[in-house]
Structure 1
Amino acid sequence: MEQVKNGDTVRVHYHGKLNDGTTFDSSEGREPLEFEVGSGNVIAGFDSGVTGMQVGEKKTINIPVDEAYGQKQDDLLMEFPLDRFPADMQPEVGMQLNMSNGAGQNFPVVIREVREDSVVLDANHPLAGEELTFDLELVEIKGGKSPLIIMP
């Protein structure tokens, strides 16, 4: 039977959990996740976890921090003046916001601490520093990209 290999496009149902058993994402009730294995569209541990699976196969994989979203980085914590927030906004710990950098790129941040004159914002991925567990079911292997054929 065909097994998933690098370059294949696959469809996978998944249930992602943290070490304490908390669900952080699931495809339940939705279409399976479709992606090309090895393309960098999913975290490295997910790519390697589906490699070698066969259609209909179910398995559980554990993804260490470094193959998931990496370690939390202190340089992604930033202090932001409270007076730069809109007057009608009351910042609270855990509040999720979107910021933009000087190049016009938007990125999500979470308020980690509210101080007297400032707030501490965290731009780390919400799952940074976490080991992840996924229950997987391979639904389909669509095959890889068609090879380029050059005709004279």
Structure 2
Amino acid sequence: MKNIENPVVSIHYTLTNKAGEKLDSSIGSEPLTYIQGAGNIIPGLESALADKSVGDKLTVTIEPKDAYGERNEEHIQTVPKEMFQGIDNIEVGMQFQADSSNGPAIVTITAVEGDQVSVDGNHPLAGEQLTFDVEIMDIRPATESEMEHGHIHGESCNHG
């Protein structure tokens, strides 16, 4: 990766939490592909992969500040149920996109009491120490178009 400018990296990974519970994995599906240095993945993992080569395997534990951040109690609010117009049945665990001071954010319903709804705008993995078991599958240069758009272009991309 050291000799490629703006490398596109494909990895297989298994993600576990501090208790060792498997949270996610790419094993058995397509590898995760991202542009190294473009901020497409969490900072701690991107940093750990910076000088790796195809075939390298590593286990890296990432603290919350270098993953999805610490939990922030200010991101938890109670709002009137009427803010969810058009939704007949609001239930704990449902997720919605909301506008925040930092742009669009995903909020999770944590409680519904009468006409009040509690929402949590923290990332579900905020405050978690995460461990990734990673294998580098492929590294290639990013295309000009990928660099222009800041992400890789593949089947799910609609512009390129």
- Is TM > 0.5 for Structure 1 vs Structure 2? yes
Residue matched to 1:74: 73
Q: Deviations over 1:59-109 (max 9, x none)?
A: 1000110000001112211111134445731x333x222143399x75321
In the alignment of these two chains, the number of paired residues is 142
Which structure is larger by alpha-carbon Rg, 1 or 2? 1
Q: CA RMSD in A?
A: 2.6
User: Separation in 1 of the partners of 2:104 and 2:116?
Assistant: 21
Aligned residues of 2:53 and 2:136 also touching (Cα < 8 A)? yes
**Structure 1: 4+ residue segments shifted above 6 A:** none
- Assess, with a 3 A threshold, how the Cα gap between structure 1 residues 80 and 4 changes in structure 2: closer, same or farther: farther
**Structure 2: gaps of 5 or more residues:** 145-160
Q: Which moved more, 1:75-84 or 1:55-64?
A: 75-84
Q: What does 1:24-43 correspond to in 2, within 5 Å?
A: 24-43=23-42
TM-score (norm 1): 0.79
User: Separation in 1 of the partners of 2:3 and 2:113?
Assistant: 51
**Structure 1: gaps of 5 or more residues:** 147-152
- Residue 50, structure 1, aligned to residue 54, structure 2: no
- Assess, with a 3 A threshold, how the Cα gap between structure 1 residues 19 and 145 changes in structure 2: closer, same or farther: same
User: Separation in 1 of the partners of 2:3 and 2:139?
Assistant: 7
SS in 1 for 2:58: strand
Residue matched to 2:88: 88
Structure 1 residue 3 displacement after superposition? 5.2
In structure 2, what residue type is equivalent to 1:141? Answer: I
